[in-house]
Amino acid sequence: MDKKVTVVGAGNVGETTAQRLAEKELCDVVLVDVVEGMPQGKALDLSEAAPIEKHDARISGANDYDISEGSDIIIITAGIARKPGMSRDDLISTNAGIVKIVTQEACKLSPKAIIIVVSNPLDAMCQVAYETSGFPKQRVIGMAGVLDSARFRTFIAMELNVSVENTHAFVLGGHGDTMVPLPRYSTVAGIPITELLPKDRIDALVKRTANGGAEIVSLLKTGSAYYAPASAAVEMAQAILMDKKKILPCAAYLEGEYGIHNLFVGVPVKLGRRGVEEIIQVKLTEKEHAALHKSAEAVRQLVNSLQTT
Ligand SMILES: NC(=O)c1ccc[n+]([C@@H]2O[C@H](COP(=O)([O-])OP(=O)(O)OC[C@H]3O[C@@H](n4cnc5c(N)ncnc54)[C@H](O)[C@@H]3O)[C@@H](O)[C@H]2O)c1
């Protein structure tokens, strides 16, 4: 492959991301993790599946960053995941330290890469990666909205018994309890769901979406979701690697867009070869605007708490 993606953290999200990237033949993949032998073992296992899965992506694993040199994209999934009863915000102090170290190490050898942050709490970890890397804002992007809107789309399809492929959904804001799913902009075959479902059903789907991560954590008990998160990270990587100019909801650094300053918050962006190529600003009602600002305020408090520790 002529592209290289490094996935830092070879745990549940990282290994599944590596698998999907390779099976789609998007790039060669480097898996990096601190656990000795583990990324090497997973990379070898994934490589041995290649003849059956019919792809020629090279997958390698390491405990340091040497083989990651010159990566086009660095996907950061390193850190701890939440357990039942924990919120994403409870992970902040441990994961901030981890994200800082891995950003420093990975960016040294791949100074032109685009960073996709997955580790939680997502929006605050984007801020850590942005400040640590010194990369321009277009090259640091957080994965959350693609996952949150995929969850919303799944629930809409289940409710209306239609193909998931007919659904589009729109989620703004931070990746937390204050996220802002927008039913007005969520459609089935182009028809807004507000014309297809009564308000109480939409409210229930919105609530389930906002609680989507916790629902899986409470079922799994030993970790958090990873199949859908990996799919979401790969959709973003694919848009960048193939310069698709795809509009996806991502955490992007805002400098006045939506009236929000100097903060990573989930908004629709155009993803292409240069990373975030445009931030799309849609018209919001007063209520939606207020909900977005409430969500941004929660992100800002979390970021501020990092700066005081
Ligand atoms: N943004 C989202 O929507 C979203 C979705 C799912 C998970 N997540 C987050 O992604 C992260 C990973 O989740 P997971 O389920 O894969 O967890 P996991 O515990 O399975 O994997 C995390 C991996 O990171 C590794 N790691 C820790 N410190 C490291 C370091 N300094 N360098 C390299 N690797 C290191 C660990 O050894 C482990 O293998 C968590 O923070 C989780 O909350 C985010």
10-residue averages of pLDDT along the chain (309 residues): 97 98 98 98 98 98 98 98 82 94 98 98 97 98 97 98 97 90 96 98 96 95 96 98 98 98 97 98 95 95 83
The atom number, within ligand 1, closest to the CA of 101 reads 31
225 CA to middle of ligand 1, Å? 11
The pick from 63, 94, 224 for probing ligand 1's pocket by mutation, whose C-beta has the most ligand atoms within 8 angstroms, reads 224
| Strand 246-255 to 59-62 pairing | unpaired
Q: Cis peptide before 121, with omega less than 30 degrees from 0?
A: yes
88 CA to middle of ligand 1, Å? 12
Q: Which residues pair with 5 in a beta bridge?
A: 29, 73
60 CA to middle of ligand 1, Å? 18
pLDDT of res. 307: 75
33 CA to middle of ligand 1, Å? 10
For ligand 1, atom 9: residue with the closest CA: 119
Token pair, residue 233, equals 């990270």
For residue 180 and ligand 1, the question of a CB distance below 6 A is answered with no
The pick from 16, 80, 140 for probing ligand 1's pocket by mutation, whose C-beta has the most ligand atoms within 8 angstroms, reads 80
pLDDT of res. 309: 58
The pick from 120, 125, 148 for probing ligand 1's pocket by mutation, whose C-beta has the most ligand atoms within 8 angstroms, reads 120
Query: Exposure string (b/e) for 67-79, b if CB count within 10 Å is 16 or more?
Result: bbeebbbbbbbbb
For ligand 1, atom 11: residue with the closest CA: 119
For ligand 1, atom 3: residue with the closest CA: 144
Catalytic residues: 175
pLDDT of res. 155: 98
For residue 156 and ligand 1, the question of a CB distance below 6 A is answered with no
pLDDT of res. 32: 98
For residue 225 and ligand 1, the question of a CB distance below 6 A is answered with yes
Mean pLDDT of all residues belonging to the chain: 96
pLDDT of res. 117: 98
116 CA to middle of ligand 1, Å? 13
For residue 210 and ligand 1, the question of a CB distance below 6 A is answered with no
The atom number, within ligand 1, closest to the CA of 35 reads 37
pLDDT of res. 89: 79
pLDDT of res. 176: 83
242 CA to middle of ligand 1, Å? 26
For residue 101 and ligand 1, the question of a CB distance below 6 A is answered with yes
